Structure 1
Amino acid sequence: MTETNWQPVADALGHLYAGATAEQHAIADELMFPLAPGTPTPVAAALLRAHLAKPLRLREHPPIDEPEYDYLTRVADETNLQVPVLEKIGSRDLLNAWLEVAWARRTVHHLEHLRPEVGDVAITVRRRKPEEDRYGQISSISLNGQLNFRGGLGRRAWPHTVKRLAKVSDADHGELLTRAREEVAAEGRRPERVTNRELALLDNWKIPRRSSLADCRALQEALDSATEERPMQIVLENHPALLANVITGNHGVWVRPQVRLGDQYVSDFLIASQTSAGLRWHLVELECPTARLTNVGNQRESPTLRHAIEQIQDWREWLKTNLLAAREKLPGITLDSRGLIILGREDGMDSAREIRDRRSANDRIEIRTYDWLLRAARRADSMAWGLLDEETGDLDQEW
């Protein structure tokens, strides 16, 4: 169990060293075994066990050595806890009881100093790289006092290891939160392996079939008359199977239109497809069907194409700093999700072959025309893979 408020955790831990319980005192009185005033609860339990060890034939605990005792005194000294000398402790059971008390006191001391709240960012020392700081956004507090961080994967820290706690109201909280989210993204393992519960978030956008003749005719009619991007957005929103069948998804394909990414960006479409390798996302940017891919004079990227590329790069930058928030509605999405730009018509004088190949290899951004999209739709029933995957070999290493 966990708490979202540090005070109940501190109160519960404080009871461990506040003194023996009434029940323990009652047992000690029956045994005529006096407990000194203020004896901590775990210590009282260990003393009672030691007193009953022989008559109840309890397991005997081995004696302790000096390094164990030295560690106890180091932890106890942090909160001025007085512990018995080595000779009076004697058994490891009693030492462990005193260590439990020392840890509880230290944890409470630091909880009261930090006063941690959900949303705060804790800066700690990285275990395997002590020269580097580690950042974590607090999601809850365990009953033993550990601070749990967003992102799972065992991300947590003891309060005494926190070098600094950035409160939500601090000026640099946003910057530190970004670093914490980047760490989660970097530490994530196989994010494409999503659960059925996560997939259920996409139910409204699942595409149940391949593209049909009606889909193809609707796309052709839009192409015949469109002079701007908007008609293409509308026809693809009404016929999402046109986009779905360009990606391999033998366990399902989902097409989400107009996905808002924070306050700055809105993607034209996001496509998710599931295979035995997991869930993959594609970032889709549409442009005008009458636009050129290259400049007439120098065959370099046209302003329209450069704008489309920058859009996808902007979306990836947003994902880089907001990946956890994005995965709440886009499960399994990654920073390197492949981009797909659709613009213009096929033209022998405007093929942009070198540009396509370079952007595909260097930036994982595929550039295609609306004629290509129509051709993919017409071939849908005869393809085992989506046309984009067939052309790029994107699944070669996964199947």
Structure 2
Amino acid sequence: MPELKWQAVADGLERKCAAPTDAQITVARALGTDLGQTTPVPVAAAELRVLLRAPLELVLARDFGDEEYEVLLDLAARTDLAVPSMDELKCREVLNAWLRVARDRESAAALRQLEPGVDDVVTARDRRRGPDLYGEISSVGANGRLHFRGGHGLGTAPHRVTRITRPSEDGYLDQLSLAREYAAAVQSNPSRITRAEEAQLAPWRIGFPATQAAVEALRNALEAADDEAAMQRLLEKHPALLAGTVVGTHDTWVRPQVQLGNHYMADFMIAGETSLGLRWTLVELESPVSRLTNPGNKRATKTLRHAVDQIEDWRKWLSNNLHYARSARGADGLGLPGITAEVPGLIIMAREDADDAAADIRELHARRSHIQVRTYDWLMRINESPDPLRRDAPDQRLRLA
């Protein structure tokens, strides 16, 4: 179990760096050699392995070169550690032990400077994922590593921390938000949700296919509607019409008008459960009397470009607010478990027109932006033929997995 108090960890690291253990001294004497009184524990262990290499048939690391020794010198200089000369080290086994000692000294010194506690939030350098990482401390490991809430191996070495904020300090809530969003963004499989998280979606669960009455209502709306507001009202009343647009192997949920921050509102968000987990789709509606392409140049219309921009804006918002989006509504979140910033998009607009370059437009956005562009006639077709055996038919439902 990781230690929860930095003092105990720092004390333990410093003890290992100060002198060999009684057991190591006993073994060394039995082998006819003496360990120096200030030989660090990792170095004593390495020297004993070298002595026992032949009788125990141990396979030890090979010889090392100047480049590796320079790494040790650099780390030793940062930690004010006196290390043997290159010739005295003799083999990489001992070199590696001195490297561990230098790292332990660095961690112990950093812990004493930071005095980190559970719930503190830190900012640290992270060359793998970018210039900075943010973390909410859950514990301190026995090697000095700061472990963060959120799992997935999140954490950092204490000497990499550039800022630490305590719960009692100004700005803590802002830093805590950054840490939670960072943890959400690096989850390896956020779509795997718990039954409790799934239960949050119960009000929007859909049993499809849509009824014949819903299909007739859609047909009538398309004959009379001249803007997207009429289609929004219809689909909110008959959400099963949208549930049929995705291919899921389990349940499907359709949420209307999901507010994303202060500036955005998704017309609909569809969640379909597959064997891989929950998969979301962002839905943007446009007018059924709009066009996909301009009659002259066959390029995307201003309406279509606006719809694509809307979905991209929603994705950008999600990338900065994933923890908030996934948190339960009862915890002041949006209640969108498993959602990611790479969520697919679906634009429904226009009617099918032989003069519209619809196929080219669909292929372009599906390939570049992971956004499907479909017509209301497409929506009508998939609801007129709800046979599950046809769900994989070309140009029918969107695949979730």
What band does the TM-score fall into relative to the shorter chain?
Answer: 0.5 to 0.7
Residue in 2 aligned with 1:122? Answer: 124
After TM superposition, give the deviation of residue 103 of structure 1 in Å: 1.7
1:3 and 1:231 map into 2 onto residues whose CA distance is 60
State the Cα distance separating 1:377 from its structure 2 match.
2.2
Cα gap change, 1:6 to 1:214, in 2 (>3 Å): farther
Spell out the pairing of 1:218-257 with structure 2 (5 A cutoff): 233=232, 236-237=235-236, 239-250=238-249, 252-257=251-256
CA contact (8 A) 1:292 1:304 kept: no
Mapped contact 1:245–1:380 kept (Cα < 8 A): yes
Identity of aligned residues (%): 35
Which residue number corresponds to residue 130 of structure 1? none
Q: CA RMSD in A?
A: 5.5
* 8 Å CA contact retained: 1:282, 1:340: no
Q: CA deviation at 1:258?
A: 3.7
Equivalent position amino acid for 2:124 in 1: A
SS for the counterpart of 1:16 is: helix
Residue pairs, 1:51-62, within 5 angstroms: 53=52, 57-59=55-57
Q: Distance in 2 between matches of 1:44 and 1:382?
A: 69
Matched residues in 2 for 1:66 and 1:375: separation? 70
The answer to whether structure 1 residue 340 and structure 2 residue 347 are counterparts is yes
Q: 1:74 aligns to what?
A: 74
Within-5 A mapping of 1:1-399: 9-21=9-21, 36-46=36-46, 53=52, 57-59=55-57, 67=66, 69-86=69-86, 89-90=89-90, 93-112=93-112, 119-126=121-128, 134-138=131-135, 142-146=141-145, 158-159=157-158, 162=160, 165-166=162-163, 194-195=191-192, 197=194, 201=198, 204=202, 205-216=204-215, 233=232, 236-237=235-236, 239-250=238-249, 252-273=251-272, 280-286=279-285, 292-293=289-290, 310-323=309-322, 326=325, 329-331=336-338, 333-335=340-342, 337-341=344-348, 353-354=356-357, 358=361, 361-362=364-365, 364=371, 366=373, 368-369=375-376, 373-381=379-387, 384-385=390-391, 390-391=394-395
The structural deviation recorded for 1:284 is 1.5
TM-score, with normalisation over the residues of structure 1?
A: 0.64
SS in structure 1 of the partner of residue 206 of structure 2: coil
Q: CA deviation at 1:325?
A: 5.4
Change beyond 3 A, Cα 1:260–1:59? farther
Say which is worse superposed, 333-342 or 321-330, in terms of deviation.
321-330
Q: CA deviation at 1:101?
A: 1.3
Offset of 1:137 from its aligned partner?
2.5
Secondary structure class of the residue paired with 1:74: helix
Q: Is the 8 A contact 1:301 1:355 kept in 2?
A: no
CA distance in 2, matches of 1:285, 1:89: 67
**For 2:255, what is the secondary structure of its paired residue?**
strand
SS of 2:108's equivalent in the other structure is: helix
* Distance in 2 between residues matched to 1:244 and 1:149, nearest whole Å: 38
- Alpha-carbon distance in structure 2 between the residues aligned to 1:352 and 1:378: 25
CA drift of 1:20 comes to 4.0
Tell me by how many angstroms 1:318 deviates: 1.1
- Please state whether the residue corresponding to 2:387 is helix, strand or coil: helix
Q: Deviations over 1:336-371 (max 9, x none)?
A: 62232458xx698xx9935896477346352534x6
**Cα distance in structure 2, aligned partners of 1:212 and 1:374:** 12
SS in 2 for 1:269: strand
C-alpha distance in 2, partners of 1:347/1:50? Answer: 78
1:105, CA displacement in angstroms? 0.8
Structure 1: runs of 5 or more not aligned: 128-132
Give how far 1:144 is off: 2.8
In the superposition, relative to structure 1, how do residues 184 and 124 fare at CA in structure 2: closer, same or farther (>3 Å)?
A: same
Post-superposition offset of 1:14: 2.8
1:234-284, Cα deviation, whole Å (9 max, x unpaired):
654454321111223345533233434344433232113466898653212
Across the two proteins, how many residue pairs are aligned to each other?
Answer: 371
Q: How far apart, in 2, do the equivalents of 1:38 and 1:347 lie? A: 83
Structure 1, residues 50-97: CA drift from partner, whole Å, max 9, x if none?
78x49x944567695563555434322221112344565556554443
- Per the TM alignment, residue 372 of structure 1 is displaced from its structure 2 partner at its CA by 5.5
**Unaligned ranges ≥5, structure 2:** 328-335
Check the 8 A contact 2:290/2:349 in 1, yes or no.
no
